[in-house]
Amino acid sequence: AALCLGFALQAHAHAAISPALGVKGTPVRNDAQRPQKNSECGNIDIAKNFDSSTAIQAAANGSFVATITNFNGGIDGSRQATALVDPTGTGKSFVSADVLQNGDKNPNDNGSQQLVVQLPAGSTCAGGASKDKCLVSFTTAGGFGNCVVVQQAAAASGKGDSQSTSAAAASSA
């Protein structure tokens, strides 16, 4: 029984990225997952939660900002993450994405940092009812993480006229 309790305690997560797939509001410690190959969003039902989850708006240049929050320090609570993008939104077609601004790998405290990620060149988000969303899986250096939904700007997806966003303007300044 003690061994089972030990494994259960280890399953509690130590960092989460928001807005998290399937989570209403700010994620808490128990909302973080342990992403793995073929289960990049952990145990979250992607199909059930994809369209109802808050989406991050990507800039016209394909970059977006997410917030990572750790719930304990050290590598276990790492705020440094890698990112995978599935342009279909199904969780079955992930490719690597560049994290342009990352968090601390071995933080001394609990806190939040901004992650800036670039969708792969030529990506067209085609998921969800609106056909303009991607699924992004984050995994921290400590092995925790979760998925977020990213909605692509019309210009970035090639679906309309060029649109300017504050993030795109800031990146070109």
Residues 60-99 pLDDT 10s? 999 999 999 999 999 989 999 999 999 999 999 999 999 9
- Strands 55-57 and 111-118, sheet pairing: unpaired
DSSP state of 133: E
Residues 105-162 pLDDT 10s? 999 999 999 999 999 999 999 999 999 999 999 999 999 999 999 999 765 444 433 3
| CB environment 32-58: b (16+ within 10 A), e (fewer) | bbbbeeeebbbebebeebbeebebbeb
pTM of the model: 0.83
Q: Which residues touch 4 (CB under 8 Å, ≥6 apart)?
A: none
Q: Which domains does the chain have, with CATH numbers?
A: 12-20+38-172 (2.70.50)
| pLDDT score for 6 | 38
> How does residue 57 score in pLDDT terms, banded at 50, 70 and 90?
very high
- Strands 111-118 and 95-101, sheet pairing: antiparallel
| pLDDT score for 153 | 76
| pLDDT score for 32 | 87
Q: Phi and psi (nearest 5°) for 81? A: -140, 155
Helices (H), the chain: 2-10, 46-49, 154-157, 166-172
Residues 27-37 pLDDT 10s? 998 898 999 99
